[in-house]
Amino acid sequence: MSSPTLAEICVVACAEAWRGDGEILASPIGVIPTLAVRLAALTFEPDLVYTDGDALQLGAPIASDAPPDAPKVVEAWMPFAKVFDVVWAGKRHVMMGATQIDRFGNQNIACIGPWAKPKAQLLGVRGAPGNTVNHPTSYWVAAHSPRVFVEAVDCVSGVGYDRVALAGPTASEFHEIRRVVTNLAVLDFETPDHSMRIRSLHPGVTVDEVQAATGFPLAGSADVPETRAPTDEDLRLVRELLDPNSLRDSELAS
């Protein structure tokens, strides 16, 4: 196999966020997170439950650009209302995007600028509050920059460690921000005060480069490992089965 691309390294880094989850509902948002779930299910997490992006629970992965009428191995039907039962039971791990995120994992996908008169209206808070207090949540950021990694988010959509601690045990019992995967690095909150740190660096990236692209000081030391490289089998599955038309590259470029 030829050397892995940055997009393929990011797919594997996102897949690793679900390692050890077992039989839970994996809910990825975006091409690279979706490929990551399907890769994890084909390799180290075969019990993951995942859908076709709609209401069909799959028993085997499909390609990223499969048409709606493509053949599917269907295990169950999971209409939207049933997803809430899974959410409230804590049996889900979602990987969302983040327009802004701060050092304690507070995430914003609602608006830029003051809530009363925003400069830009985004998606709204959507399901982010319920996700973050009910089950593990991770984030995928395709372009790591100080505009995304900010000192304070303009609106709290997903709840971070500092705010959930203030809300008490009813909010914090199932709260876990597990990973933030970007085009530069993998970050987590495994520090004494749950502030963001660099977990691993993608090949060729330095700690200084990640810090320069972040609007607040990152915890941790200069001795950071490199992100796990895809195996030959990972690359074969991604290139030949899961994403033969390389949609992963266009998401990263955007």
Tell me the whole-structure pTM to 2 decimals: 0.95
SS3 at position 228: coil
Domain architecture of the chain: domains with CATH: 6-253 (3.40.1080.10)
Amino acid (1-letter code) at residue 202:
H
pLDDT of residue 39: 98
**CB 32: neighbour CB atoms within 10 A?**
27
pLDDT of residue 78: 87
Alpha carbons 45 and 23: distance in angstroms, whole number: 8
Block residue for tokens 């200084």: 208
Tell me if 128 sits within 8 A of 107, measured CB to CB. Answer: yes
The dihedral through the CA atoms of 186, 130, 251, 74 has a sign that is positive
- Residues with Cβ within 8 Å of 204's Cβ and at least 6 positions away in sequence, in order, are none
pLDDT of residue 220: 79
pLDDT of residue 249: 95
Q: Pull the structure tokens for residue 8.
A: 């393929």
Nearest to 140 by CA among 96, 107, 184, 206: 96
Q: Pull the structure tokens for residue 214.
A: 């972040």
Alpha carbons 106 and 103: distance in angstroms, whole number: 8
Q: What is the pLDDT of residues 31-78, one digit of tens each?
A: 999 999 999 999 999 999 999 888 899 999 999 998 888 999 999 998
Strands 92-96 and 25-28: parallel
pLDDT of residue 253: 65
Alpha carbons 17 and 30: distance in angstroms, whole number: 15
- Residues with Cβ within 8 Å of 134's Cβ and at least 6 positions away in sequence, in order, are 87, 88, 90, 92, 174
CA 202, 16, 229 angle in degrees (round to 5)? 40
Q: Pull the structure tokens for residue 215.
A: 């609007």
Alpha carbons 38 and 48: distance in angstroms, whole number: 9
Residue 111 belongs to what H/E stretch?
strand 111-112
Tell me if 248 sits within 8 A of 28, measured CB to CB. Answer: no
Those residues of the chain that have pLDDT short of 70 are 253-254
**CB 123: neighbour CB atoms within 10 A?**
14
pLDDT of residue 254: 57
Alpha carbons 122 and 225: distance in angstroms, whole number: 35
Residue 52 belongs to what H/E stretch?
none
